[in-house]
Copies of this chain bind each other. A is one copy, B any other.
Amino acid sequence: MNKSAKGFVREVSLPQIHDPRGDLTFVEGGNHIPFEIRRVYYLYNVPVDSERGGHAHRELEQVVFALSGSFRMRIDDGTTKSDYWLRDPRKGLYISKMIWREMDAFSQGAVCMVLASHRYDEADYFRNYDDFRAEVESHQA
- Copies, count: 2
Which residues of A91-123 are within 8 A (CB) of B?
106, 109, 111, 113, 115, 119-120
| Contact A22–B47 (Cβ < 8 Å) | yes
Sort chain A's interface into a size bin. Answer: 35 or more
Mask, A34-61, CB within 8 Å of B = 1, is 0011111111111100111000000000
Tell me which residues across on chain B come within 8 A of A67, comparing CB atoms. Answer: 42, 44, 67-68, 111, 113
Task: Tell me the nearest residue of chain B to A67, going by C-beta.
Answer: B111
Tell me which residues across on chain B come within 8 A of A7, comparing CB atoms. Answer: none
| Contact B40–A109 (Cβ < 8 Å) | no
CA distance A119 to B26 in the complex (A): 10
Knowing A67-B111, A111-B67 are in contact, say whether A50-B26 is a contact too (CB < 8 A).
no
Knowing A39-B28, A40-B27, A89-B42 are in contact, say whether A50-B68 is a contact too (CB < 8 A).
no
Answer yes or no: A130 CB below 8 A from chain B CBs.
no
CA distance A31 to B37 in the complex (A): 13
